[in-house]
Amino acid sequence: MNAEELLRLFTARLKNDSTQLDTQIILAHVLEQPRAWLLAHLDTRLTAPQIESATQAFEKFQAGTPLPYILGHWEFFGLEFEITEDVLIPRPETELLVEKAIAWMQASSTKHPERNPAIADIGTGSGAIAISIATQVPDARILATDISPAALRVAKHNADKFNVQHQIEFVECDLLPSSSFTPRPSSFDLICANPPYIPTDTLRLLPIFGREPTIALDGGTDGLDAYRRLFELAPNWLAPQGIMLLETEATLGVKALSLAYDSFSNVSIHLHQDLAGHDRLLEIQFHEQQF
């Protein structure tokens, strides 16, 4: 059997919500070739092990395994991150947070060139946010936390891959470390997070439920549990005039904004939209430390 025949066989079994492109990507992955190469060599004869591997991968895809988990990698902010089913799949919407973080740090370094920016990335997962920032801000010091040791292993691997491991310290904890951790509280210029923000009942109806880590998705009854906890903890960790950047679920932007106003005084709060016009990023700029 050649590549074209196998693709035809897979295409005939596709579900309505799948595409022929997916089958091409899967087969190209099994052959360890770019998709463009595959399309130019459809007459390539496949070995029995290649056919078996491609069939197993396609059956996993048909059963609902997201394509990025089958490939074992996914692009984010121009970088190819290694991923496993222990971490969320990086999504383009989160690039808005990275862009805002980099822009803020660049502006801050112009005002304070003598100071290296200190950042906390809470719930780092694959490390996509922390590593993307580190590649663009080489003098940044980053604390990346996650409650999942398996996720931290993935993040550490990615940091090594992009040679930014010297900039990032990975810590296993729930949100932020204990107050005895060094660096001590009031150390971070920027705290950023893509927290769990999908309401529990909503999550159970989504295709991603059970296919990506629930602990990284479930935001509690109203989707705002992680925000409440962060709003209690983060001010003690922020340096004066620090900033928080938190991704939000598109339908919860206004509620997250209202919660921030109820939680803080003497701050500037902005709700940013993504390229699709959906509420996506909550920015909280502190004018002085909150106690």
Structure confidence at residue 184 (pLDDT) = 56
Same-domain check for residues 32 and 112: no
pLDDT tens digits in sequence order for the chain, 291 residues long: 999 999 999 988 876 666 889 999 999 999 999 999 999 999 999 999 999 999 999 999 988 899 999 999 999 999 999 999 999 999 999 999 999 999 999 887 766 666 788 999 999 999 999 999 999 999 999 999 999 999 999 999 999 999 999 999 999 999 998 765 655 555 899 999 999 999 999 999 999 999 999 999 999 999 999 999 999 998 889 988 899 999 999 999 999 999 999 999 889 999 999 999 999 999 999 986 544
Same-domain check for residues 273 and 164: yes
What is the C-alpha to C-alpha distance for residues 48 and 51, in angstroms, rounded to an integer? 5
CATH code, domain with 38: 1.10.8
Same-domain check for residues 185 and 222: yes
Does residue 86 lie in a domain region? no
Last residue of a domain, one of 12, 45, 64: 64
Structure confidence at residue 290 (pLDDT) = 47
CA torsion, ordered 158, 163, 165, 167, to nearest 10 deg: -120
Same-domain check for residues 205 and 273: yes
Does residue 254 lie in a domain region? yes
Same-domain check for residues 157 and 258: yes
Same-domain check for residues 152 and 190: yes
Same-domain check for residues 125 and 253: yes
Stated length of the chain = 291
Does residue 9 lie in a domain region? yes
Last residue of a domain, one of 45, 64, 83: 64
Tens of pLDDT, residues 146-191: 999 999 999 999 999 999 999 999 999 999 987 656 555 558 999 9
CATH code, domain with 218: 3.40.50.150
Structure confidence at residue 16 (pLDDT) = 60
Last residue of a domain, one of 64, 83, 115: 64
Structure confidence at residue 14 (pLDDT) = 79
What is the C-alpha to C-alpha distance for residues 168 and 163, in angstroms, rounded to an integer? 10
Does residue 291 lie in a domain region? no
Structure tokens at 33: 């070739």
In one-letter notation, the amino acid at residue 5 is E
- Look up the domain containing 98 and give its range: 92-286
What is the C-alpha to C-alpha distance for residues 144 and 129, in angstroms, rounded to an integer? 9
Same-domain check for residues 250 and 114: yes
**Phi-psi category of residue 124: left, alpha or beta, with phi > 0 → left and psi -120 to 50 → alpha:** alpha
Angle 51-57-63 (CA atoms, 0-180°, nearest 5)?
130
154 touches 68 (CB < 8 A):
no
In one-letter notation, the amino acid at residue 138 is P
Does residue 13 lie in a domain region? yes
Same-domain check for residues 112 and 247: yes
Count structural domains, the chain.
2
Does residue 71 lie in a domain region? no
Same-domain check for residues 225 and 278: yes
Cβ neighbours around 159 below 10 Å, total: 23
Tens of pLDDT, residues 69-80: 999 999 999 999
pTM for this structure? 0.92
Nearest to 120 by CA among 236, 219, 229, 238: 238
Nearest to 72 by CA among 29, 16, 127: 29
What is the C-alpha to C-alpha distance for residues 279 and 257, in angstroms, rounded to an integer? 10
Same-domain check for residues 46 and 122: no
- DSSP β-bridge partners for residue 267: 286
Does residue 70 lie in a domain region? no
Does residue 252 lie in a domain region? yes
Nearest to 285 by CA among 247, 238, 251: 238
Same-domain check for residues 121 and 39: no
Structure confidence at residue 12 (pLDDT) = 86
Supply the angle between the helices 253-263 and 225-233 in degrees, to the nearest 10. Answer: 30
Task: Give φ, ψ of 35 to 5 degrees.
Answer: -60, -40
